[in-house]
Chain A
């Protein structure tokens, strides 16, 4: 962060960390203290004349703070709701000043690039999106966890290679989400997709945060969709109408489906609501909720219809 700030001439930087990460926040604060002690922060860093102060800001448990302008609002002490863009943060960001916002993962590449050189970095992964990526694998695999691999690692390599394959031999892969809950899910047909930005976008999904969730055939897709949508409707900030009032509606319908109270026309209703939410919201959270649901409906529509028609789950 200090390097980036030096590069853009910023005198202040903030690390925004989730409020629940108590241990992490403490570590960061200690690290900052150590950096101060060593002269890496403060006035006249290492005699260069560059001044920089860094702060750790803890959030209070809102997913919406992942949206950059909501994050800025939160640091400024306001309700975390996204701001109008334009003006973009690069022009008017925190406290109205030009601001650069990046994920910790992105910034953590910088010391490596400086040490090992740009060529080394470009060799990792495909040409268009080089570098390492931390894949956070969870779900029905033998070894879930965080794996730092070159960009473009295929899903097969990740799941069957590094993670040791499916958790239960008798339960094959049903679907996997390649990049966080808002990414549309992919089926075993796409197992050889390289997990990088362009390849996944070509498949109609996205890399997103690189959180890979693996589901075997004991997973009910309706339940999955319900839990994901419940998460989104709970985290909706409430600013714009489609997300605030639409995502809870989706959740309620899915809840009924999950509990065997589906009504004829529910699947069509879900699709219609998705159309009304997608692209009409203030920020991409609403879009994220819809993309996840649409992904599930695209591949497993018959499962949803089964819930409606038979009032029970075909899987569990």
Chain B
């Protein structure tokens, strides 16, 4: 610990603290330009220079660590003049086109000149002009280099945090410009983090261009509705239309970073395709109706249906809604058949929850990345949870730690990992068994190695790294739910590491917003709220669909889920839905499933509700309403309660969401200690790792028997590729395709294979190819990725018309496909 005096105030700080941070601790703010809390310091803008007693030159406080006994002055005449001088130099080459610049009103240069700068400009010379018109760097980024202040935060964030490395500096001296190579179009993550960190109007959002000024906007704190990382965002609207989504420094685990989905994907809220009135099927087509008519229709149709043949699936809704939903189903209607996943078998979900110790309380991702080894398996983290990928990259760059990545496909995180293992799809279990064997000193089973497609050496390397660490962070993702035969090995390896005395932190990497929340609210046939076990288990999704095909399940209530597009076997799902007597679909858009419904109820987006959502860590975060649902659409909670009171006796027709959360606290037990206070904008302690928001451990451990057999691969042996699926980088589920911006980034279905395979087939990226499987064939664009394992093909699950689920069939294992030129 070091004691220094700043402006006469004494502070004691840790060794090697920067003067800037020490001053902040003392409550003194020093202006900066090129300093960004999460990036490596540069010290180039010279804005933060302060006076250190005893040193002749003013020193940059953002890169100078304190030494014991230093006396620092930040507000002397010399320092103030220096700041004004530096700002004058910034303005000397700056474009000064504030009236037409989108950043005006929230521009750091404007604010700093106002506070510290010269109030009269002396520069009366011609300025260097980089270009005449703003140019477009990507479908979401527009650039004006004349405004650049050369802080290089964009380049640094792209390199250090995002890992895309597409920005750099061109030119020298005052001709230096931070931009893409040769100012060409970017083929990058389109995350827009360069826009967020740019202090001036150099990088700007293209969808937000010339839409509003900061004083026209009203904001609401919310959480991104795409993946389960749970990034905190501020949604902003002008005149009732959402125009922008941004992250804030120091708020949420994402801390001013977002991915393309979080930053640009909110515009599905204002899509013209939103359903704005209830729809009822009359004479073959869906016609608009009023709420009374819709509920009346449901009441009449449901009257003759026995309660235990009602199934339900809520998804993408807040905790208040999922909780009320299961209460409605179980207590009011008396039906035990509810599930929250269209894709995963509920048995797999239970086993996964148990193996990942989700019932032992929430785990902070920031603790996870501070372990000695982070092991990412069964998750395509760079594309499904991008911000989690950013955290791993950032922390591994500045800490001495291992990052082990095991996946069939190459991913961006590979470059930050010190051990990358490519294995065959659906073989996570075999890989982990091999590692377990290596950990206990035995030779890994050659059969397991063969199945995983890895060498004994690789297994041993993983084992060595795990054994050599004191703490291990295991991040396991949705591939374990797709191929549940690996869950057993997952549980075993965590237990083995704990047995060796290591601290093991398990983080599930989920790909849907509030998926964990839905499970914790008890939307699962065998689990009740708080991971309690039900005495009698109901039917899960697959059983419900089978029952529907058999005719014993007559009514299905789906909320926010596109079952037809997402279920693992489209054929069965289609048949089942067609046979139902009453299919009620509550959604924002007319999805493929909704088109088959008897009644469609228009629901609301996450940004149109107040409530809470729980992310993959188990962190409960509050969302605030930004705008009202369009037309006659209502918040899903209100629809549920009205429907409940229509078809069930004694169910209230209106419930306040705040009171629901109180009930959730009581009934789940694990939410009892959750502190939502930090979500309040006014709360100064709005730090990013508020452990008070993590859920508590459940009273009783959830025991699940992870006993799953992998089905045999399907398809002719001559078909060389094993098909895997997951989310496309710019999409999540099917909602993202309704966002014009995200659809603009990727509209067409693609199939991805490795470079080696593409070379052998004589194909190159961008070509149109035919993918032929046992159950389906389709034409789509080819994408080639360097490093993806030989014999692996990936088709994202999001695109209508080429859903990956058309290739799969329940009961069949990995599908083998053939790819040829179309």
Contacts and interface: CB of A to CB of B under 8 A. Distances in A.
B85 A238 contact: no
A240 B46 contact: yes
Nearest to B94: A245
B149 to A, nearest CB: 8
A124 B172 CA distance: 42
B45 interface: yes
B46 A244 contact: no
B63 A249 contact: no
A248 B63 contact: no
B176 A238 contact: yes
A242 B172 contact: no
25 contacts: A236-B172, A236-B173, A236-B174, A237-B173, A238-B171, A238-B175, A239-B44, A239-B150, A241-B45, A241-B47, A242-B85, A245-B89, A245-B90, A248-B92, A248-B173, A249-B125, A252-B126, A253-B125, A256-B125, A263-B124, A276-B81, A276-B88, A280-B57, A281-B46, A282-B46
A69 B63 CA distance: 17
Contacts of A248: 92-93, 128, 173-174
Interface of B: 41-47, 49, 56-58, 63, 81-82, 85-86, 88-90, 92-93, 122-126, 128, 149-150, 168-169, 171-176
A241 B56 contact: no
A199 to B, nearest CB: 23
Nearest to B82: A280
A64 B122 CA distance: 28
A32 interface: no
Contact of B57 (A236, A237, A239, A279): A279
B15 to A, nearest CB: 15
Nearest to B173: A236
A235 B173 CA distance: 7
Contacts of B81: 276
A315 B649 CA distance: 105
B85 A269 contact: no
B57 A242 contact: no
A149 interface: no
B58 A279 contact: yes
A120 to B, nearest CB: 38
The 7 nearest A-B residue pairs measured at CB: A276-B85, A238-B176, A245-B89, A236-B173, A252-B125, A239-B44, A238-B173
Interface in A242-262: 242, 244-249, 252-253, 256
B87 to A, nearest CB: 9
Interface of A: 62, 64, 79, 84, 233-242, 244-249, 252-253, 256, 263, 269, 272, 275-276, 279-282
A246 B173 contact: no
A269 B172 contact: no
Contacts of B46: 240-242, 280-282
A272 B118 CA distance: 13
A79 B171 CA distance: 10
Contact of B44 (A235, A252, A282): A282
Contacts of B150: 238-239, 241, 244
A256 B82 CA distance: 26
B63 A245 contact: no
A263 B49 CA distance: 32
A275 B88 CA distance: 13
A241 B169 contact: no
Nearest to B88: A276
Contacts of B89: 241-242, 244-246, 249, 276
Contacts of B93: 244-245, 248
A242 B57 CA distance: 14
Given A245-B93, A279-B58, 14 more contacts: A64-B172, A84-B41, A237-B176, A240-B46, A241-B90, A244-B176, A245-B92, A245-B174, A248-B174, A252-B126, A275-B85, A276-B85, A280-B58, A281-B46
Contacts of A280: 46, 49, 57-58, 82, 85-86
A235 B47 CA distance: 22
Contacts of B172: 62, 64, 235-238
A184 to B, nearest CB: 18
